[in-house]
Amino acid sequence: MPAASGKRFKPSKYVPVSAAAIFLVGATTLFFAFTCPGLSLNVSPVIPIYNAVVFLFVLANFSMATFMDPGIFPRAEEDEDKEDDFRAPLYKTVEIKGIQVRMKWCATCRFYRPPRCSHCSVCDNCVEEFDHHCPWVNNCIGRRNYRYFFLFLLSLTTHIMGVFGFGLLYVLYQVEELSGVRMAVTMVVMCVAGLFFIPVAGLTGFHVVLVARGRTTNEQVTGKFRGGVNPFTNGCCKNVSRVLCSSPAPRYLGRLRAEQTVLVRPPFLRPGVSDGQITVKIMDNGIQTELKRTKSKGSLEVTESQSADAEPPPPPKPDLSRYTGLRTHLTLATTEDSSLLGKDSPPTPTMYKYRPGYSSSSSSAALPHSTSAKLSRVNSLKEPNSIGEGGQKPSYRSEPSLEPESFRSPTFSKSFHFDPLSSGSRSSSLKSAQGTGFELGHLQSIRSEGTTSTSYKSLVNQTRNGSLSYDSLLTPSDSPDFESVQAGPEPEAPVGYTSPFLSARIAQQRETDLHGRFGGTAPPREPSPVRYDNLSRHIVASIQEREKLLQQPPATGREEDAGPVAAGVQSPPRSSSSLDDAKRSPLGKNPLPRPALPRFGKPEPPGALRARSLGSPEQPRAPHLGKSVSYSSQKAAPQAGVPEAEEVALQPLLPPKDEVQMRGAHSKSNGQPKNLGPVPAGAGPVPLSSPTRGGVKKVSGVGGTTYEISV
Amino acid sequence: MATEVHSLQELRRSASLATKVFVQRDYSDGTTCQFQTKFPPELESRIERQLFEETVKTLNGFYAEAEKIGGSSYLEGCLACATAYFIFLCMETHYEKVLKKISKYIQDQNEKIYAPRGLLLTDPLERGMRVVSSGQQDAGG
């Protein structure tokens, strides 16, 4: 046997096709020669014509199925696979109509096999939409020739039935003597036809079902879609029409390569890069997020684009090196958020519309809402600088300072189960941050997160610390700041989201205020005339309340009316307490004398949030410094059944579970101001009359978290 | 030196370029032929995003037109069946016609937009429609 270049001549593989051809042509020829003349004479001349047409059809399809390129992919050139070669994972996943489909690396052809493509070992080629390798035609059946193969089967079945039927007719009608040659031949032809009819009809029926289902033989046999959903089907009718009526696909092999007539010569144009535009891309979980920032405006828009041909989603690891400070934080937050939360909460991305313009002031304020929440009075006292820190160091972890605890009253025993998750991010970083315990006290600065994880962690820290000091918020001097702050970042920020920055800033201011305040000069506060978004209003409210608390003698009943609870943050309102709150005081209904205090509710429905009322009235919160603020959550419900919000500065306490859930809610809702609904500017104290229970107040902090302050 | 010159000559002859950027197929809609419109980061400094995306979108439109199942493709199929597929010897299929249009479009784009920027798009058909490659040629050689 002569050895072909690279391939040996194997006669064995031609046996089936030869046999098929011989049987087909031979039997039909005999039929035409021996049976048809008699039939045409005695029955009808149409019979041979009909049979001839069918036979021609069979032959044509048989030839096309045999000789047509099934859709062989040419081998990939070297330049295409040089990146993939050694480091390439074996599989690449793409999402097709919502279903994950794996593409396997073909070592022979050196590319990732497109969906439905398979490598035929007989032909040693990757074939597009590979159906099977048919030995009877000695060819692969793929995208280009499946139609012909299918029609071949149909026509062959028809032909066999015709031959058998007319042969039977011939025999039955006995036009000639039974023992004649013609009769014998007809009988033989009938036998052959009858013999082949069973497998051919079976195969035909099988393929009819496949076509109707939009599957290939390969998929059916390997059970890929067994019990599952086939992403390649468009419905029975469309599948059939696609097989039969679509335009024949082109072949890939054997094409003349077009000569490159275009000359590529320098000098080359380059796209203009505006000074103010910086495009940052983050790859995260197969989702590409692009952030474009303009220096001037500093508005950060997040665009997400998902790459369909994504590799197995890598763990989120944005390239931090590109970003600095706020930007990094933002992008990370966005990325992570988008990757983690995007699907769950459409509004999520809006959360991260931070304004870099803020960055100077808000580098510290870079942290999202929860950050500000963290400012604790104590912390602020202790670490006045912490707020301003822009670095991201998870120092919070290292600082479960004991001081604050001592400083605080036993309320701290309430624990800060601050749920890092409530910071609004469900990232794992939050979880890790959670572990650090809630020691609060430090105002861990709103650090600009350099890394997603760190950012979130720091977020968490902040929340964890629960040191949300609303002192600054409460001080009137803050109002203008609020205004300015508000105005600054706000223009486009989604309601919930600017607040974190705002809060942070407020926190900073609060710091300064704090000192002043503790000096005993607490200027009477008016409800902030400025309308902020919900969160900011909360902040304002909380600040104001705090202010009042400080001014007033302690120990009066604390019915605070929480201002509109900035509960937006937490999406899933799970806390019964919040619900209770809601019941207690529908938002906006209770005309509480107090200005709206910022209430950070746990995840609860907007109404509920509103309903929370900050527990104690504006009593001077000094004695409450030591109070622990716990996020109102279901767990906290018993203690904090009453939303007492006010002591913003107190460290938030939250039972861990609640925190977790809250966090989840936070992350989902992204600080949603949406949930909050319209909050009366500054003044809408949350009409929640939350009876103080065991001296526990709920304070709504920045970011919609609710802190329970135990008095 | 000689080797350098030689390789440069080869470069010019074969029009192989310094680096290649590949735009992969977008399989999000099944096996319909479309390419990803996301902008490859490597081209960021070479060409405006808009232009590139527009090119890819136009290509996708062409392919959608080629694969469209409508009256014309049905008639073509019937005709082919009726003539025992001999018609394919004489006539171009609808798909092939669109492919020619695509090839012309790509050449046009190369001349007008990409070559001045040192890029060269290749017809995905050459690679089995798996990828659109755009070769970059650095100005520095």
Query: Would you give per-residue pLDDT tens digits along chain B (141 residues)?
Result: 444 444 445 444 444 446 788 888 888 888 888 898 888 888 888 888 888 899 999 999 999 999 888 888 889 999 998 898 998 888 888 999 999 999 999 999 888 888 888 888 888 888 888 888 888 776 554
ipTM of the complex: 0.86
Cα separation of A681 and A397, whole Å? 36
Which of A80, A154, A309, A322 to mutate against chain B (most B CBs within 10 Å)? A309
Average pLDDT over residues A155-166: 94
Mean pLDDT across chain A: 61
Three-class secondary structure of residue A105 per DSSP: strand
Q: What residues of A are in contact with residue B103 (Cβ under 8 Å)?
A: 258
Structure tokens at A136: 């009877």
Q: Flag if A247 and B84 touch (Cβ within 8 Å).
A: no
Which of A118, A262, A291, A292 to mutate against chain B (most B CBs within 10 Å)? A262
End-to-end CA distance of chain B: 15
Q: Which residue among A97, A246, A257 sits closest to B73, beta carbon to beta carbon?
A: A246
Structure tokens at A639: 């203690």
Cα separation of A371 and A459, whole Å? 5
* Catalytic entry in A36, A109, A126, A134: A134
Residue A267: asked if its preceding bond is cis (omega within 30°), the reply is: yes
**B124, closest residue in chain A (CA to CA):** A252
Asked if residue A448 has pLDDT above 50, the reply is: no
Q: What residues of A are in contact with residue B68 (Cβ under 8 Å)?
A: 247
Average pLDDT over residues A70-86: 76
A253: nearest Cα among A64, A75, A4, A120 = A75
Cα separation of A93 and A104, whole Å? 9
Cα separation of A585 and A145, whole Å? 71
For residue A346, give Cα distances in angstroms to A304, A666, A702. 12, 13, 21
Active site residue A36: no
**B42, closest residue in chain A (CA to CA):** A281
pLDDT tens for A543-601 read: 677 777 776 655 444 444 444 444 444 444 444 444 444 444 444 444 444 444 444 44
Q: What residues of A are in contact with residue B126 (Cβ under 8 Å)?
A: 74, 255, 257-258
pLDDT tens for A85-103 read: 566 688 888 888 888 888 8
Q: Flag if B27 and A309 touch (Cβ within 8 Å).
A: yes
Q: Flag if A96 and B131 touch (Cβ within 8 Å).
A: no
**B32, closest residue in chain A (CA to CA):** A232
- The DSSP annotation for A541-610 comes to HHHHHHHHHHHS-TTS-----EEEE-GGG--S---HHHHHHHHHS-TTTS--SSPPEEE---S--HHHHH
Give the pTM: 0.51
Report the 10 Å Cβ neighbour count for A441.
33
Q: Flag if B28 and A257 touch (Cβ within 8 Å).
A: no
Q: Flag if A244 and B77 touch (Cβ within 8 Å).
A: yes
Closest Cα in chain A, distance from residue B139 (Å)? 5
Q: Flag if B139 and A268 touch (Cβ within 8 Å).
A: yes
Q: Flag if A64 and B85 touch (Cβ within 8 Å).
A: yes
